[in-house]
């Protein structure tokens, strides 16, 4: 996946993208680690941070809920709005501004995590029940 991110950021391969940031549909599906790499690459660029942060929140929530569906959902369901509120009140220092989009993407990540958990569980079931 890191190769894909680097290819997208390569200036020769950029299409009509001012910052060299992948489109929304790609950002929405990138793993959390890849989004952290992108954020580090654009460190100090507030516009890029504001563009990437919501998708990083989505990926974090998705991966946490995928690994821990119940506790991840409860934890993220509470923390997502409170994290944004703490940024708004200046209690949390962040590279990005607080936004409704980071809240929306965070909750979308909870849904993505459940979809992956449910799909993975169903897909991994054996075709036949083994005899006792």
- Per-residue pLDDT of 62-94, as tens digits, reads 999 999 999 999 999 999 999 999 999 999 989
Mean pLDDT over 8-30 rounds to 68
* pLDDT the model gives residue 132: 55
First-to-last CA distance in the chain?
A: 42
Using alpha carbons, list the distances in angstroms from residue 35 to 30, 85, 120, 123: 7, 22, 23, 27
Inform me whether the pLDDT recorded for 95 exceeds 60. Answer: yes
At 5, the pLDDT band (50, 70, 90 cuts) reads low
State both tokens at 86. 């703490």
* pLDDT the model gives residue 15: 38
Residue 80 sits at φ, ψ, to 5 deg, of: -55, -55
What is the average pLDDT value for the chain, to the nearest integer?
83
The sign of the dihedral angle between the CA atoms of 93, 96, 100, 106 is negative
């Amino acid at each position: 996946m890191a190769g894909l991110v680097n290819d997208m950021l390569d200036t020769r391969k950029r299409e009509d993208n001012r910052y060299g940031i992948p489109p929304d549909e790609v950002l929405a599906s990138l793993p959390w680690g890849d989004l952290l790499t992108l954020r580090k690459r654009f460190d100090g660029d507030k516009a890029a941070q504001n563009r990437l942060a919501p998708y990083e929140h989505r990926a974090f929530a998705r991966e946490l809920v995928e690994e821990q569906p119940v506790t991840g959902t409860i934890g993220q369901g509470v923390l997502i709005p409170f994290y944004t509120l703490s940024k708004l009140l200046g209690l949390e220092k962040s590279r990005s501004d607080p936004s409704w989009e980071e809240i929306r993407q965070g909750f979308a990540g909870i849904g993505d995590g459940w979809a992956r958990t449910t799909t993975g569980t169903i897909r991994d079931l054996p075709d036949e029940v083994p005899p006792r």
